[in-house]
Chain A
Amino acid sequence: MSVTYIDAIREAQETLLRDDPRVFLYGQDIATFGGAFKATKGLSEMFPNRVFDCPISEDAMIGMAVGAAIEGMRPIIEMQFADFSSIAFNQIVNQAATHYYRTGMPIPITVRLPSGGTPGSGPFHSQSMEGIYSQYPGLIVLTPASVSDAYHMLIDAVKLDDPVIFCEHKFLYRWLKAKSINGDHLPIGQARIIRSGKHATVVAYSAMVHEAVRAAERLQQDGWEIEVVDLRSVKPLDIDTVLASVARTGRLLAVGEAFPWGGVTAEVISRVTEEGFHLLDAPPQRLNARDTPVPYHPKLWAAHRPTPESICQALRKLLAF
């Protein structure tokens, strides 16, 4: 018996609907159809009048969620693809994210973003938006990389009083399996060292955690011990765990699947450089997707995002410095 990442997300929503009458789900094709990725399969039958199909109106979906939150509800909004949240950008960053600061009333909404690339998905069904949302004050941005985190972090996200951008990785949906959803249930905002090492630190999140672990396994054959930090939450960013790791290894590579200009990896490098320059034995490195739209063809796509090969290459350069 195994649980996939998408099972965990569905399970978390079932738990939330069962345990908290304030929770409801609103999104496109999520009721009878069960969602484009089946993250809500069967939930509309189990919870009548709690799971709603909505018009293709991402802006209105978030405006609606903010209004419902003002009245005491805890809506979970499914964006069919993270990419389409660009249409809701205004409501997310200007309405939801500013509300607590302006009025003192927090807005407990959770926006689920099926994120990241899969082969053949192309420019408009593959994007990673975590960096963009993290740039705005007033949002919590989560990027679970494991089955257990997908479950526990979604439950914790809905319990938080602030708006959460929940970036689920589509590649992990069915590829990632675990024996159960049990895990250490670290609180939101804490990074996790998932592989210990002493020669270099790779900081990654979401699907890139798994690519980084593969790279670390390959380098192990050459005697290199690579530490891998899973950020879990990109905002807030647990820079203490990262600095502690860099203190042990002296070398840092930050890996992300988003576009290369700015973003999470740049933030990690910038903070480590600022707060832990004395810990570094080599210039910190970044590895991101390429600076083009995400390509359709699987061969182009595989070379667009960081891979175990490109991570190994970046690590060898870092280790050779």
Chain B
Amino acid sequence: MDLHPITDGVTKSREFLRSAFHSMLYARIMENKLSSLYKAGKIVGGVYLGRGQEAVSATLGTALVQGKDIFAPLIRDQAGRTAFGEPPIDCIRTYLGSIEGPMRGRDGNIHRGRPADGMPAMISHLGAQVSLVAGMLFARRLLGTLGDSVGATCIGDGAASTGAFHEGLNLAAVEKLPMVLIIANNQFAYSTPNNRQFACADLVERARGYGINGFSLDGTDLMACTSVINEAIRLAREGQGPQLVVARLLRLSGHGEHDDGFYVPTDVRNGHYGRDCIELAMRQLVENGIASLDEIRAWQDQISDDVQRAVAQAQQEAAPDPYHDDWTALSTRFPLPNNQPAALPVLS
């Protein structure tokens, strides 16, 4: 793929890039705040950042249309969530355990979603969302509401080793569902490097085995992300079945904020993929006259204010009350009423 969004008009490039970059910036600033809150002991459990993956994630979230498409974000998709339309306070509330958040303190951090709005809540078991998105699309096809909507999910290089990934992608391919599956290959699954994870040269080679299209891209380059991911979504919308996009990048943090990532070799950190996608995107936007530095600084200030306000609000909200929780995992309330007047017991 050597499409270029600025020159080839694949996307409404100017607005798209500004919007995607804004979400990247939003995610970075919000996650920096989350990291500080974690280090200050204000967040219980883990904090998992998408640092380094913002270009890929934001592009996907920007290209999808909320209310029409499906987006099943994974652990490092804050930028995509923001771009797709998740209210930023959902994130803050879930990390802080507010009763007002979508998970009401019953689940935390990145395990959140709004399934009724096309954004299912991930479980920790990697690869499990692939078949779930396939099922959402399959249902729409049966209901006649699929239209040209698509479903997308992101996974990592580690998740690509799971059975669930294979089963789900194969099923989506068999059913020819309009799914875009992005593998963000950030080179380390927690601490395990690619050479202990898979033996092929590039995970995109697997696409051929599933009988689907495959794309490779430099996930640190917003321009490349924009042209390739939009193209993959376009093909899925056209009815060409699942599309696999493998984005190469580097996780610019530990697995979680408890992890300093000491196992990432210095030459990898200092190598090509160690560059910061936000810095690169900022330069690209400024150099191409898509956004000015002043505008970007104003966005930064606005986002920082937003985030501060959201944190202040969520910190004041009630925590869940164990004495008033209904403590039921079922929506059905037993005992059920009798189906008909009591009859004599019968064993067929």
Contacts and interface: CB of A to CB of B under 8 A. Distances in A.
Interface of A: 24, 49-50, 54-55, 57-73, 75, 87, 90-91, 94-95, 97-106, 137-138, 140, 145-149, 152, 156, 160-162, 176-179, 181, 183-190, 192-195, 209, 213, 230, 236, 238
- Most B CB contacts (10 A, CB to CB) among A102, A146, A178 go to A102
B347 A55 contact: no
Contacts of A90: 125, 128, 164
B103 A105 contact: no
B338 to A, nearest CB: 6
A102 to B, nearest CB: 5
Contacts of A101: 106, 328-329
- Most A CB contacts (10 A, CB to CB) among B107, B336, B340 go to B336
Contacts of B123: 94-95, 98
Nearest to B326: A101
A147 to B, nearest CB: 4
**Majority SS of interface residues in chain A?**
mixed
Contacts of A100: 329-331
Given A57-B168, A71-B140, A238-B335, 14 more contacts: A63-B168, A66-B132, A67-B133, A67-B138, A70-B135, A100-B329, A101-B106, A102-B106, A146-B346, A179-B348, A181-B348, A185-B340, A185-B343, A190-B335
Interface in B43-92: none
Contact of A103 (B115, B138, B342): B115
Contacts of A146: 346-348
A65 B344 CA distance: 37
Contact of A64 (B171, B338, B343): B171
B331 A59 contact: no
A100 B164 CA distance: 22
Given A55-B171, A66-B135, A185 B339 contact: yes
Interface residues of B, number: 56
A64 B132 contact: yes
A186 B336 CA distance: 9
Contacts of A178: 348
A134 B21 CA distance: 48
B97 interface: no
Contact of B130 (A63, A160, A183, A186): A63
A184 B330 contact: no
A106 B114 CA distance: 13
A306 B332 CA distance: 33
Nearest to A193: B345
Interface string B157-184: 0000001100110110010000000000
A148 B348 contact: yes
A255 B114 CA distance: 43
A102 B139 CA distance: 22
B200 interface: no
B133 to A, nearest CB: 6
22 contacts: A54-B174, A55-B170, A57-B131, A58-B167, A63-B131, A63-B168, A64-B135, A67-B131, A67-B138, A68-B135, A70-B116, A90-B128, A95-B132, A103-B121, A140-B332, A162-B330, A162-B331, A185-B339, A186-B339, A187-B335, A187-B336, A189-B336
